[in-house]
């Protein structure tokens, strides 16, 4: 999506450890009109998928997930993060390793909000090594629901998450794929 690539080039900042900071529109301040456009694009890309629910992880995925849910007229569920894994009760849960914080946390979804009738579209802001999306896939699996695919705003194509998920047969649609990111600048993978 050209508009997203342009926004990354003008507003993105490269931090240590191959982290892209896009706090001006996606990760801290939210450019509401622009995020609605990202949601509309995901809705267009997955219009054939008969989606019944969007699933994301708090907190950075929620805005784009809501924009997508609004465009598709389906509910949006966000997995909650907990630092301990001893939350018992009526929930699906799994452990995810955080790329940006380098720690493990438990993600939790209450059973009543995800069922085997659901056709779930996963949405997240970034795809790096794929751990966040793998965690969401596991929650959908525990619920016996179907994952129709994953929509990611920014995929870092130089990390292996996207390749790994696609090899498993997961449909991954990324609105911008960064091929290279260093002190000389940012380049994007050409997409059909």
Least CB distance to ligand 5GP at residue 116 (A) = 26
How distant, in Å, are the alpha carbons of 6, 14, 88, 137, 187 from that of 66?
23, 27, 28, 19, 28
- Please state, in angstroms and rounded to a whole number, the distance separating the CA atoms of residues 47 and 185: 34
**Residue 125 touches ligand 5GP, criterion: CB under 6 A:** yes
**Residue 161 touches ligand 5GP, criterion: CB under 6 A:** yes
What does residue 116 show for φ and ψ, rounded to 5 degrees? -70, -10
**Residue 60 touches ligand 5GP, criterion: CB under 6 A:** yes
Segment interacting with ligand 5GP (CB under 6 A) among 20-28, 65-73, 78-86, 142-150: 20-28
For the chain, report the end-to-end CA distance as a whole number of angstroms. 10
Binds ligand 5GP (CB under 6 A): choice among 99, 107, 109, 188: 99
**Residue 172 touches ligand 5GP, criterion: CB under 6 A:** no
Segment interacting with ligand 5GP (CB under 6 A) among 36-44, 84-92, 111-119, 124-132: 124-132
How distant, in Å, are the alpha carbons of 5, 17, 102, 129, 191 from that of 98?
24, 13, 5, 10, 28
Segment interacting with ligand 5GP (CB under 6 A) among 16-24, 37-45, 72-80, 111-119: 16-24
Pairing of β 19-21 and β 76-82: unpaired
At 60, list the tokens: 């950075």
At 7, list the tokens: 């926004």
Per-residue x/- track, 64-93, ligand 5GP (CB under 6 A) = ------------------------------
Q: Which is nearer to ligand 5GP, 100 or 115 (CB)?
A: 100
Tell me 31's DSSP state.
Answer: -
Closest Cα partner for 151 from 44, 23, 7?
44
Segment interacting with ligand 5GP (CB under 6 A) among 30-38, 129-137, 139-147, 168-176: 129-137
Binding stretches for ligand 5GP (CB under 6 A): 19-21, 27, 57, 60, 99-100, 124-132, 156, 161
């Amino acid at each position: 999506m050209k508009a997203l690539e342009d926004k990354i080039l003008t507003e993105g900042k490269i931090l240590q450890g191959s982290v892209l900071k896009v706090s001006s529109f996606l990760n801290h301040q939210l450019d509401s009109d622009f995020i609605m456009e990202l949601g509309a694009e995901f809705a267009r890309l997955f219009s054939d998928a008969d989606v019944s629910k969007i699933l994301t992880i708090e907190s950075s995925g929620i805005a784009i997930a809501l924009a997508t849910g609004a465009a598709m007229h389906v509910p949006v569920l966000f997995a909650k993060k907990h630092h301990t894994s001893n939350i018992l009760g009526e929930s699906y849960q799994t452990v995810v390793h955080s790329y940006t914080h380098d720690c493990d946390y438990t993600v939790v979804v209450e059973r009543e909000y995800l069922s085997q009738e659901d056709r779930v579209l996963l949405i997240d802001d970034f795809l790096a090594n794929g751990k966040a999306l793998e965690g969401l896939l596991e929650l959908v699996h525990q619920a016996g629901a179907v994952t129709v695919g994953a929509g990611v705003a920014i995929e870092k194509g130089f990390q292996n998450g996207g390749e790994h998920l696609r090899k498993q047969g997961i449909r991954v649609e990324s609105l911008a794929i960064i091929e290279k990111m260093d002190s000389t600048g940012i380049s994007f993978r050409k997409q059909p």
